[in-house]
Chains A and B, each alone.
Chain A
């Protein structure tokens, strides 16, 4: 299926969870609680169709075809 990730079309496995997507993009292993398995902070957040998905729900939230996903992090800014 296809989703829009940060404004770009992307194909993901059918039924993939938010957790799977975040793990693929960041290259980090993520536990069921939405935290990095290495214990370090991830520093990212996800909005799906303009609604924040709390990290505690990443694991249980399946992506759907056509979803609009934003994955953000902290960058330099005043």
Chain B
């Protein structure tokens, strides 16, 4: 193959993250990786991991102000120009989640909220009933709800119909690193959604994030997989590439799976050895 042939080949789909931005609520993000900040042992390490991951959106939790701990995360995000997505982690009821979201909106001056209403501390799984209730209330109050949900296609569609800005099905329970336990359901959610689908929770390593993108997700949200990796900055970089690779593979169109082998070299014209 010569240079002319290469130059004349059909235009490649956008290769870089910048050419294929993630648009949510009218905001364009250069990365399809949303990084949570939970689980990092130090702020310095967290800062390095965030930078290496290339993320432009990161989650934070709302907790009691402690004068001893100031300086902090908030300033780090401001310094790195990373947009904040406050969560309602730790809320078990719609009532608590709504109040927490209101506090986050006041404190951080954003109407984006990652709505997380969990059933119990053992599974940390979303409580579907409270989640639906909270989504309805928050949408009515003008919030842009990023709903953390079970990998349930029916529930995901309900949340979208209630006005969720994005639906965020889990791959596996929070912090487990088990990957995507029900890829079929994630595909179903994607195929029926008209809002962005973000795979949230359960990611263990880079290939899980690539798979999420290959299944058609618009973005991936993870925290533990990076912050508790042995080398968080290196893992952050791995995820940056994994999300891009998965997105490109999805756009490129994978080959169908086959039962039997299919030779890629022609049988015709083989030399014969007598």
Interface residues of A (CB under 8 A from B): 6-7, 25-27, 41-47, 50, 52, 54-55, 70-78
Question: Is B64 close to A, CB under 8 A?
Answer: yes
Question: Is B84 close to A, CB under 8 A?
Answer: yes
Q: Using Cβ atoms and an 8 Å threshold, which residues of chain A touch B61?
A: 74-78
Q: Which residue of A lies closest to B109 (CB)?
A: A41
Q: Which of B15-60 contact A (CB under 8 A)?
A: 36-40, 46, 59-60
Q: How far is the CA of A45 from the CA of B77 in the complex (A)?
A: 18
9 extra interface residue pairs, beta carbon distance < 8 Å, beyond A77-B61, A78-B201:
A6-B65, A25-B67, A26-B67, A47-B102, A55-B106, A73-B65, A75-B69, A78-B37, A78-B39
Contact A26 B65, CB 8 Å, known A45-B104, A74-B84, A78-B174: yes
Contact, CB under 8 Å: B38 / A76: yes
Contact, CB under 8 Å: A45 / B106: yes
10 contacts between A and B (CB under 8 A): A6-B65, A25-B67, A46-B103, A46-B106, A71-B64, A73-B62, A73-B64, A73-B74, A75-B60, A75-B73
Of the residues B78, B222, B223, contact of A41 by C-beta under 8 Å? B78
Contact, CB under 8 Å: A76 / B107: no
Number of interface residues of B (CB under 8 A): 41
Contact, CB under 8 Å: B67 / A73: no
Q: Using Cβ atoms and an 8 Å threshold, which residues of chain B touch A78?
A: 36-39, 59, 61, 87, 89, 174-175, 201, 221-224
Contact, CB under 8 Å: A74 / B70: no
User: Shortest Cβ distance from B100 into chain A, in angstroms?
Assistant: 8
Which of B37, B107, B201 has the largest number of chain A CB atoms within 10 A?
B107
Question: Is B63 close to A, CB under 8 A?
Answer: yes
Q: How far is the CA of A41 from the CA of B201 in the complex (A)?
A: 30
Q: How far is the CA of A78 from the CA of B225 in the complex (A)?
A: 11
Question: Is B252 close to A, CB under 8 A?
Answer: no
Q: Shortest 9 CB-CB distances between A and B: which pairs?
A: A77-B61, A78-B36, A78-B223, A45-B107, A45-B106, A78-B38, A74-B60, A43-B74, A45-B103
